[in-house]
Every structure is written in C-alpha cells, then in structure tokens.
A and B are shown apart, each in its own frame.
Chain A
Amino acid sequence: MGFFDKIFGKKNYKKEEKNGTRASNSLKVNLDYIKNKLKDSDDVIYRDIWVGENQQYNLAIVFIDGLVDKDLINDHVLHSLLLDSRQAAPSIEKIKRNLYEVIKKGTITGGDIKEITDLDKCILSILSGDTALLFDGSPEIVIISSKGWQMRSISPPEAETVVRGPREGFTETIRVNTALVRRWIRDPKLKIKQMQIGERTHTDVAVLYIEDIVDRNVLNKVMKRLKNIKIDGIFESGYIEQLIEEDWHSPFPQVLSTERPDKVAASLLEGRVAILTDNTPFALIIPTTLATLFQSPEDYYERWMISSLLRILRFLAAIVALISPAVYIAFTAYHPGLIPTKLTLYVAATRQGMPFPAFFEAFIMEATFELLREAGVRLPVPIGQTIGIVGGLIIGQAAVQAGIVSPLMVIVVAITAVASFAIPSYSAAIAFRMLRFIFMSLAAVFGLYGIMLGFMVVLTHLVVLKSFGVPYLSPFVEIDLSDLSDTLIKAPIMYFKNRPEILDTPDRKKMKDLREEKIESIEDDRRINNDKKQ
C-alpha cells in the first residue's frame, strides 16, 4: 500500500488556500505590499505620478518591462493622466467626491480596463502583462490591459501543410489563437471559457465549444478533468493532453492536436470541444476517434473522389507501416510456399549467403531507420539533409553491397518509412511505428499467425479504448451508415446533412438537402433549351 501511495497518492500535494489580500486605502501600504511580493525582480517598473491642477493627487502605476506595450502606457495612461486631464479638467467638486471614478471613467483612454481590490490578483495581472493603476485614498485598483510583447507572427503550420486551404497557423499567444477561431465562426453561440492552470505558471487555457452543438457529456468531462488538474506548471498542450486522456497506457492518441484554426473551427461545428493553451500553437480537439486521425482538412476542400482515394490510401499506408516488415519476416522465414513461386525463388536468391535471419535483418534496418529519423530531427536543417543522404544512400547501398541485408529488405524499410509519413496525425504515426516492432517480433515467433495475434490484441485494445466516452473505433463500431460516409471514403459534401452520430449534439442539422434543387435547376435548363430550339 505504502509504495503505491507514494507513486499514485494525492497526499503529498498540499493546496494553498488563497483568500487574497484586500487592498487598503493607503497607496503606500498597497505599493509596499506589491514591492515586497515582487522584490528582487528588477524588471518591475513603479512609477509615481501626481495628478491634478495643483498636482495634489498621488497615483502610481506598476508594470513589467518587456511584457507591456510601452506606447499604450505612454499615450493612453501617462499622457491622459498628466496632460489631457489638465487641459480639460473635470470639476473640482467631482474630483473631491470621487477621484477614482473620475479617472477610471473620464481620463484613461486605454480600451480594456477592469477594477479589482485584491492585491494578489493585482500582482497576477501585473505578471501577465497588465498595468496596475493604484490610487491614494481608494482601495480599488484599475487594471489596464496592456499586454504587448514580442511575438511570432502568424505563419503557415509546418507540420500540417496543405496544397489547397488557408495557410494560417496558430501562434504562441492564446489571444491571437482565440481570435483566429472567432474569425472562422462568427456565432454568438461560440463560447470561449478561459481558466488558468498551473499553480506557478498560471497558464491560460481556453475551452472552446459551440453552445447548442456541443456534446454536453464530453464538455462536462473535459471541464471536470481540467478543473482536477493540480500541477505546478503547464508548458505545452501535451501536458494537458496527457493529464486528461482516458488511458495513458495506450500508444494511440486520444486527443487530436492541430496547428490549424480551420480544423479547430470545423471540429467545433461537428460538436467537438477544442482546448487552446497559451504559449503553444497546438490546439487540442476532443473527442478523437481513430477515423479522425486519418482526416486532413484538405479532404473537405478538394472534390470528393480524390479525397476518398486519398483516405483509402492513408488507411492502406497505416496497414503497410504497421505490418510490412512483419509480413516480410513471416513469408521469408515461415511460409515461402504462400507467395508466388517466382517471387519465392527471387527472395531466396537475394537472401543467398545472408549472415542474419530475416527477423534480425529487418530489425537492424528498421532500427537504423528510426535512428536516422531521430538524428535528422535534432539536427539543423542543412545538416539534417546530409544525414538523409548518408543514411538513405550510403548506408542502404553499402549494406546491400556488403551482403548484410537483402535489397528487398531495403525496399520494405523504405516503403514502411514513406507509408508512416502518409498518416496525417503525427502522434498516430508514432503509434503505428512503435507497434510495428511488436508485430515484427510476433511474426518472428509465429509467422503469419503471429501477425493475426498482434491484430487481435491491438483490436482488443482499440475496442476497449474510449475517448471521453466515445468509442475509439466509432463509427466502425455501433455502426451508423451516415457516419461511415466520412471515414474510409469522403462522400460528396451533400451527404453531410447531419452532424456525426457518434456525438450527442442537440442541433443535428448541418445543411439543407440540395439535391432536389439541383434536379429542378437541371429541368429548368432543359426547358430553356427547348424554348430556344422552338
């Protein structure tokens, strides 16, 4: 018990109860509190100012250098307070009654302000890049939103490029990302619920959904799991993904990550939930099923035939990536009789004098390939290409000429590699890459039967797996024919009249059936043509 408690127990995590510290009426006390909390932080800037015709009112602003837009502070806070207020001074009476109200409503020209009385929240706002304006004689603090730091501009998503489709990808700033999604869906029902996760990092996390479409069960699960997270810091949406997924034993991703706002918007319209995390361009889409991992946004932009063909190709690619080395092992080592005689003879001839058994040969080559890929990822781009040439051409060629591996094996490895890149979701491709080694081992022990055993075990895992209550293999299980139109194939767009059945969406209808109108318009054309002829 004690051992497991140590690993899984919750007792070690002591939650600090913060009731907050109320600001006092004295500017000095408040400022001292903030200074004390933020001591030894030299990037914090405190600025005392005197306002009023006789400069009799004492104010202070606090912000962090580098996180704020200095122009905004100069133009809309300092300039307004120090100069404009003197040129058009409000009546003395008003000022005497309530300086705070006058300044908040009549002087500051910054757009986004809010007021708080909690000093700890004030410090958190300052740390997030806001500017705090403190008054003498008033416990209220005005927080002026002045976030403006150096950020990457919107650029094409590198991991998910498309030939046809928008080139915009998410950036590292959550505000920009939510705006990108808003630009796709101008619906008041699009909700963006924001919360902060991480006891120390206070990372902004936004949950996006469309109120009358979203599957409530899924949304409630997501909210509950997000609220349960108690961690010191969230650094990437991968943290959240791993913390909220159902089965962390599984090699398969139960949450889809994407850099594309159009993919997020389309998923929201299907009734899914999206999670955006600050400081990362990767959004999470929930729930995810195996079929969605094979979808690319381009499928919906291109015409349906080519999209369907590409879908089939991707599923085949997944199977090839999974089992082709295993099949090679099984056929060469166990069942040479099952492949055509000519091929058997050819394989036997190429394997003549090979020092290694088929499994060992395949294992060496696959491991070498993974090695090359890993090395290529870590290296800067120009050297990465060199690795590719060294690996692909020199090692492959040399290994064959040295007689260590058969040329057929090199082809199998190459096809496997290419096939694993054809799967749109990187994390799904990783799953197939890892499982490939298990299939190879099974094929080495049991031949073809081993591959079937592998399939049965993997399928068992997949039928048991659920992503936020939705069966992972749906819509292949609990079959609904209308859902199948967007899986192995992508049917013409007029067949997507309803949202996916696997999600319990209140608003089911996606579009009006256009087919009848099409027939009508064809008849109209015919009538016009007939009239012309007459």
Chain B
Amino acid sequence: MIKNNDKISANQVSILLFTTMVGAGILSLPADVSKEVGPNGLIAILGGGIVSLFFARLILYLSSKFPTETFVEYTGKLITRPISIVISIILVFYFTIFVSLDVRIFGEVLKIYLLPSTPIETIIITMLFTSAYLVRYGLEPIARMSEILFPIIVIPLVLLFLPTLTDIDLSNFLPFMRVSLVKFFKGMLVTTYSFVGFEILYLLFPYIINTDKLKRSVNSAIISTMLFYMYITFFVVGIFGYKETREQLWPFLTLIKSINFPVFFIENVEGIVMGIWTFTIFTSIYSFHYFATLVLSKLLKTREHSYFVLPAVPIMYSMALIPDSIVTVYKYAGYVSQYMSVFFIAILPILLYIILKVKRLGDKDEEKT
C-alpha cells in the first residue's frame, strides 16, 4: 500500500521495466536477429537476455550504493562533477531520442495499417501530448498505468498467436548453431538493444519502497521480457523461416495479418493488435519521457520535473520528424543503439564499477551482483 506520493513498490518496478523495454522493438526484432544468426534467433535472444540481466544487475548494484541519491549526484561523486553533467545531458538526449524514435515508428506503422490518410504529424503530436498528460503527474501514476496496461498488452498477444501453432515448422530452427561465433555475438548484441530501457535503473533507486526485493523484480522483469521476445520470435521464425523473416521490415505485423479466426467472427486481428500495440508504445514513450525530464530537473536542481514535460514535447516532435523515411529511422536507430546504448548499458556501468571499487565509495556494503 502506497500513501506517500512518488514512491513505488518493487513489484511495480518489475512491471515498469517490462513495459519500458517492450516497445517498438518487437516489430523488427525477429528480422534483425534473423539477419545476424539465421535460424538460431531464439538462442541469441536468450544470450542477449542474460547479458542484459548481468548489466541490469550491475547498474542496480551501483545505484544501490547510493540509495538516496540520483544518477546526477552519485556520478558526480564518482567521476567528477563536470563529466557527470556531460553524461547526464547525454542521458537526457538518449531518452529523448528513444521517445522520438518510438513515436516515429509508431506513426509510420499506424499510417500504414490504420490511418492511411491521416498526416503522421497529427499522430505523433497527439501521442506525445497524451504521454505528457500522464508524465506530469509523476512516477506513481506512471507505475500504476504500467500495472493496468501490462495484462492488456501481454495476455491478448500471447493468446492471439496460439491458433497459428499448427503452422509452425520446427525445421525452420535448423541447422542448430551452425553459425560463426562472431556472427552469433553480433546477433546477441542486436537482441540486447531490444532490452534497452533498463537504464532507467540508474535513476529509479531512490523512489522505491521495498528495495530488498528489488533484485528479484529486476530478474523477473528481464527474464519475462526475454521469454516474451522468444515467444514472438518462435512464432515468427517458426512460421516464415529465417530467410523470409529477415527480408521483412516488420515480420511481427506480417504474421498478425495472416492470423484469422473465422469461427469467432474476426477475420483479421489487425485492429485489435494495433490497439494493443498503441498501449505498448505508449508505455515505452511515457517512461522515457518521464526519465528524460527527471534527469533534466535533477541537473537544474528544480523541485518538480513537471516544468519540463510540456517544453520537451515540441523537441521530441521535431526530432521525430528529422528522418525523411522509415529506412532512415531505422538507420538512426542503429546508430543510437550501436554507440549510445553500448555506452550506457555496458561501458558506463563497468567504468563506474571500477571507479567505485578504486575509490571505495558508497554507503553500505552489499554482496556482489
């Protein structure tokens, strides 16, 4: 039970992490992973999940050393104030870019599947304003929103695929692991990008009530995300085969288009899936939107994050419209994940960890992750 505002429970963290990680990535993940590792997508996702879990726990360990301080404050202690400010500014941009990319991909998909004659600008701006409306109220409503939307997202998506179970050809997953190790690691890296979002753990720690259960909830969040991705990839690759999958932009949606239940009076489930997918994107957008403004407010030492919520909307809007086509969007997304994500997911936590150990900072000594 939560009475004091802006504190959330470990269970809510788990759900918030899941809904943040699962975003625009599910559309293209089967194609991306098939490009790199062919039929071994499932194993690559498993590997990516384990890697993500390791780094998520590392980030959690770092922030748990400074239980009352936010990212801006504790990195200031570790790597001097000026560098910390630079990294924080990059982090704000990083989250902002994610909002823009997600909302742009969302707009493109919606334009193709639902609203062919509506200008994409309208879709993007309405989505951003809806997100701003929620984000202004802070972390607690955000966590509750994720809790509400989580079953609405997961249950229908899991059930929708079941009727296609008979179409799966298991030989699509063969040959098993006949891929070079370099390619396999590259594939693992690609899947790790689908887990981006757990960087919010850098910032979350001071806002959690029962921090002792946090490790378990981070584990369950990343493992369930991994299973969810594996579930979708299993169906997509199992039905299309990796050769067909990698040629497509959004194999997930192609599969959805092929599902039909004549008995249930539903000829195609696109409408339903688009509805669910709107929620999926919404959960990622508001989360990144919130944490971008949160870091900014900590940087400028303002009392409330809400001052920055609305001013961020036009920036995100114009950033979302910079790429001229969906191909460029994915090119930019590739750059962001190759450079910025690697930095925030892997390089920064390792760096901070080493400095932490060298400087022997931190409030309490917990056991290692």
Contact = CB atoms under 8 A, between A and B. Distances in A.
Interface of A: 217, 334-335, 338-341, 446-449, 451-453, 456-457, 459-460, 463-464, 469, 471, 473, 476-479, 501-502, 504
B147 A340 contact: no
B126 interface: yes
**What 9 A-B pairs are tightest by C-beta distance, nearest first?**
A477-B144, A338-B271, A463-B144, A452-B278, A460-B134, A463-B141, A340-B267, A477-B147, A464-B141
A446 B126 contact: yes
B147 A479 contact: yes
Interface in B3-22: 3, 9, 11-12
Given A217-B3, A334-B114, A452-B279, A477 B148 contact: yes
Interface in B274-298: 274-275, 278-279, 282
A341 B147 contact: no
A473 B147 CA distance: 10
A459 B286 CA distance: 13
Interface in B112-140: 114-115, 118, 122-123, 126-127, 130, 133-134, 137
B275 A464 contact: no
Nearest to A454: B130
Contacts, number: 86
Interface in B246-287: 265-268, 270-271, 274-275, 278-279, 282
B113 to A, nearest CB: 9
Contacts of A471: 2, 144
B310 interface: no
A478 B271 contact: no
B148 A473 contact: yes
Contacts of A449: 110, 114-115, 118, 123, 274, 278
B278 A457 contact: no
A117 B184 CA distance: 93
Interface of B is mostly: helix
Contacts of A341: 267
A14 B126 CA distance: 47
Contacts of B12: 478
B300 interface: no
Interface in B72-119: 110, 114-115, 118
A44 B153 CA distance: 69
A479 B145 CA distance: 12
Contacts of B11: 478-479
A83 to B, nearest CB: 64
Nearest to A502: B1
A338 B144 contact: no
A477 B11 CA distance: 10
A460 B1 contact: no
Given A453-B126, A478-B2, A448 B114 contact: yes
Contacts of A469: 3
A453 B106 CA distance: 13
B147 A478 contact: yes
Contacts of A456: 130, 134, 278-279, 282
A217 B279 CA distance: 34
Given A449-B115, A463-B134, A473-B148, 10 more contacts: A335-B271, A340-B265, A341-B267, A446-B118, A448-B114, A457-B130, A460-B141, A477-B143, A477-B147, A478-B11
A204 B149 CA distance: 44
Contact of A335 (B114, B144, B145): B114
A494 B126 CA distance: 47
Contacts of A217: 3
Contacts of B134: 456, 460, 463-464
A460 B127 CA distance: 13
A335 B110 CA distance: 12
A456 B283 CA distance: 10
B213 to A, nearest CB: 14
Interface of B: 1-3, 9, 11-12, 110, 114-115, 118, 122-123, 126-127, 130, 133-134, 137, 141, 143-145, 147-149, 265-268, 270-271, 274-275, 278-279, 282
Nearest to B110: A449
B243 to A, nearest CB: 29
B141 A339 contact: no
Given A457-B133, A478-B1, A334 B126 contact: no
9 contacts: A339-B267, A340-B266, A449-B274, A456-B134, A456-B278, A464-B137, A471-B144, A477-B147, A478-B144
Given A449-B114, A478-B1, A459 B148 contact: yes
B144 to A, nearest CB: 4
Contacts of B144: 463, 471, 473, 477-478
Contacts of B127: 453
B296 to A, nearest CB: 21
Contacts of A447: 114-115
A457 B134 CA distance: 8
Given A453-B130, A456-B282, A476 B114 contact: no
Nearest to A456: B130
A147 B290 CA distance: 60
A447 B116 CA distance: 11
Contacts of A453: 126-127, 130
Contacts of B275: 448, 451-452
Nearest to B282: A456
Contacts of B270: 338
Contacts of B110: 449
Contacts of A338: 268, 270-271
B148 A476 contact: yes
With most chain A CB atoms within 10 A of its CB, the pick from B122, B130, B149 is B130
A456 B270 CA distance: 19
A453 B145 CA distance: 14
Nearest to A338: B271
A471 B137 CA distance: 14
Contacts of A448: 114, 271, 274-275
Contacts of A446: 115, 118, 122-123, 126
Contacts of B141: 460, 463-464
With most chain B CB atoms within 10 A of its CB, the pick from A335, A340, A449, A464 is A449
Contacts of B271: 335, 338, 448
A456 B128 CA distance: 12
A326 to B, nearest CB: 12
A503 to B, nearest CB: 8
With most chain B CB atoms within 10 A of its CB, the pick from A446, A457, A459, A504 is A459
Contact of A459 (B114, B122, B145, B268): B145
A504 B4 CA distance: 14
Contacts of B130: 453, 456-457, 460
Contacts of B149: 459
A479 B12 CA distance: 9
B133 A460 contact: yes
Contacts of B122: 446
A462 to B, nearest CB: 8
Contacts of B123: 446, 449
A447 B114 CA distance: 8
Contacts of A335: 114, 271
Nearest to A442: B126
A446 B267 CA distance: 22
Contact of B145 (A451, A463, A478, A502): A463
A502 B279 CA distance: 26
A501 B279 contact: no
Contacts of A451: 275
With most chain B CB atoms within 10 A of its CB, the pick from A334, A451, A504 is A334
Contacts of A502: 1
Given A335-B271, A453-B126, A453-B130, A476 B147 contact: yes
